[in-house]
């Protein structure tokens, strides 16, 4: 039986690969590159592949920027989530079917049972973390054990595209502090989208321009105490 682990650079998918490796299970790694990944993802995944000594495949459905331009700079959002399907799920599914894969190991933990799903479109999914009873603490401990915990977790809630519309305000603030160039790219894309469609990355008053301007003044005065953080979770496929 041929097994593939769908990896994103996040702790859950990394721990899935490490768990199967410790159990001497034969598998290969598959990563769907959206073209909007954070640099830490491109740094960690080759290290993971080398550590477990498994083949590493990268698939693509076209870059995020290409999709964005083809839609006249209409940003993805909760009601128009073309990024997840076209840049993550579809290219992975095409690869799995072309390779004749028997099963796909997905990084879903035991403490998130509502995210478990059955087989889909002829593809068989397994959940090693959930089956083993591993929760978020255990997952991060396994990654840390092998020095494979993505440093993004030091300032970011999850590992997804740098411009993910699901990320909370604190992650946008972190992006400005740690990767200001990527922040300004997302800001420019938002500016274009606001002109043509009126849609920004966020549904509230906080455009990226406003976030940047407040962050630039942060050293002079604490300007964030009145802001309530969101609790909405990102897409499953983008964070496993």
Residue 35 resides in a domain = yes
Domain range for 76? 3-157
What is the band of 100 on the pLDDT scale with cuts at 50, 70, 90?
A: confident
DSSP 80: B
Residue 86 resides in a domain = yes
Residue 191 resides in a domain = no
| E strands, the chain, in order | 3-6, 28-32, 56-59, 103-105, 125-126
Q: Which two tokens stand for residue 50?
A: 């080398």
CA 26 vs CA 38, 65, 109, 124, 143: distances in Å: 29, 35, 21, 16, 19
- Number of domains composing the chain: 1
Residue 144 resides in a domain = yes
Residue 127 resides in a domain = yes
Tokens 């993910």 correspond to 164
Q: Say if residues 161 and 34 touch (Cβ distance below 8 Å).
A: yes
**What would you report as the CA-atom Rg of the chain, rounded to the nearest whole angstrom?**
18
Please name the helix (run of DSSP H) or strand (run of DSSP E) that holds residue 7, with its range, or none. none
What is the band of 72 on the pLDDT scale with cuts at 50, 70, 90?
A: very high
What is the band of 102 on the pLDDT scale with cuts at 50, 70, 90?
A: confident
| Structure confidence by residue, pLDDT tens digits, 210-231 | 999 998 886 555 555 555 555 5
Residue 212 resides in a domain = no
Q: Has residue 240 got a pLDDT over 70? A: no
Average pLDDT over residues 166-177: 94
Q: Has residue 122 got a pLDDT over 80? A: no
- Model pTM score: 0.89
Residue 139 resides in a domain = yes
Average pLDDT over residues 188-208: 92
The domain that holds 147 is classified in CATH as 3.40.50.620
DSSP string, 109-172: -TT-GGG----BTTB-EE-HHHHHT--HHHHHHHHHHTT---GGGGT-SS-S-TT-TTS-HHHH
- Mean of all residue pLDDT scores within the chain: 90
Residue 178 resides in a domain = no
């Amino acid at each position: 039986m041929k097994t593939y682990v769908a990896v994103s650079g996040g702790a859950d998918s990394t721990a899935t690969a490490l768990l199967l490796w410790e159990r001497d299970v034969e598998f290969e790694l598959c990563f769907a590159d959206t073209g909007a990944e954070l640099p830490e993802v491109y740094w960690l995944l080759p290290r993971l592949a080398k550590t477990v000594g498994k083949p590493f495949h990268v698939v693509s459905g076209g870059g995020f920027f290409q999709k964005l331009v083809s839609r006249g700079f209409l940003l993805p959002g909760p009601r128009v989530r073309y990024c997840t399907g076209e840049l993550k799920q579809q290219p992975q599914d095409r690869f799995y079917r072309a390779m004749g894969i028997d099963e796909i190991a997905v990084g879903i933990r035991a403490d998130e049972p509502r995210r478990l799903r059955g087989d889909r479109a002829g593809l068989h999914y397994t959940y090693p973390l959930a089956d083993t009873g591993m929760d978020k603490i255990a997952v991060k401990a396994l990654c840390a054990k092998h020095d494979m915990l993505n440093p993004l977790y030091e300032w970011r809630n999850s590992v997804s595209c740098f411009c993910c519309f699901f990320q909370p305000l604190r992650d946008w603030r972190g992006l400005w502090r740690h990767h200001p160039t990527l922040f300004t790219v997302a800001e420019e894309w938002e500016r274009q989208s606001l002109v043509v469609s009126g849609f920004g990355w966020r549904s509230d008053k906080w455009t990226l321009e406003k976030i940047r301007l407040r962050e630039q003044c942060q050293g002079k005065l604490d300007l964030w105490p009145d802001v309530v953080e969101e609790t909405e979770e990102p897409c499953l496929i983008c964070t496993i």
